[in-house]
Amino acid sequence: MGLSDAFIKRMEKKLLDKMQEIVSSLDEIIDRTADTDSRGAQDEGDRSVSHYSLHYLSQLSTRELETFKAIESALGKIKEGNFGVCEGCKDEINPKRIEAIPWAKYCVECQEKKEKGFL
Ligand SMILES: [Zn+2]
């Protein structure tokens, strides 16, 4: 692993910030629909992420939902110690790319291949 602990810590914070941002937009959706079917989510004081059911997540845009899942997966990788490794070629992702998109799953080459449908 070429990434320093300090770098990973910083990326972890970015990931959590972004996740918080998505969760806030989710809160708005929940508040908007509060009177109909979200009582379960409103009752408990703890508003941790695990608490948001798939039902609410499904109201996010596809892009947000994908980012959300990618962030969860990136946070998992930090715990497992394989953060920053491309899921395609298993090489290290360029730190500059991680800096820009901490939840990136692929290096630039694999991302391009994926977008063209080769992966
Ligand atoms: Zn790759």
DSSP string covering 68-97, please? HHHHHHHHHHHHHT-TTB-TTT-PBPPHHH
For residue 51, the 8-state DSSP code is G
**Residue 97 pLDDT class (50, 70, 90 cuts):** very high
Q: What kind of architecture, by CATH, is found in domain 5-115?
A: Up-down Bundle (1.20)
**Which stretch of 14-23, 25-34, 72-81, 91-100 has the lowest confidence by average pLDDT?**
25-34
> Separation of 119 CA from ligand 1 center, angstroms?
10
Measured distance CA(108)–CA(22) in Å, rounded: 25
pLDDT digits over 1-60, tens only? Answer: 579 999 999 999 999 999 999 988 888 877 777 655 544 544 445 454 555 566 677 778
pLDDT, residue 38, reads 45
Report the separation in Å between the CA atom of 32 and the middle of ligand 1, taken as the mean of its atom positions.
41
State the pLDDT at residue 36. Answer: 54
More confident residue, 44 or 116: 116
Q: How far is the CA of 82 from the centre of ligand 1 (A)?
A: 14
The alpha carbon of 111 and the centre of ligand 1 are apart by a number of angstroms equal to 7
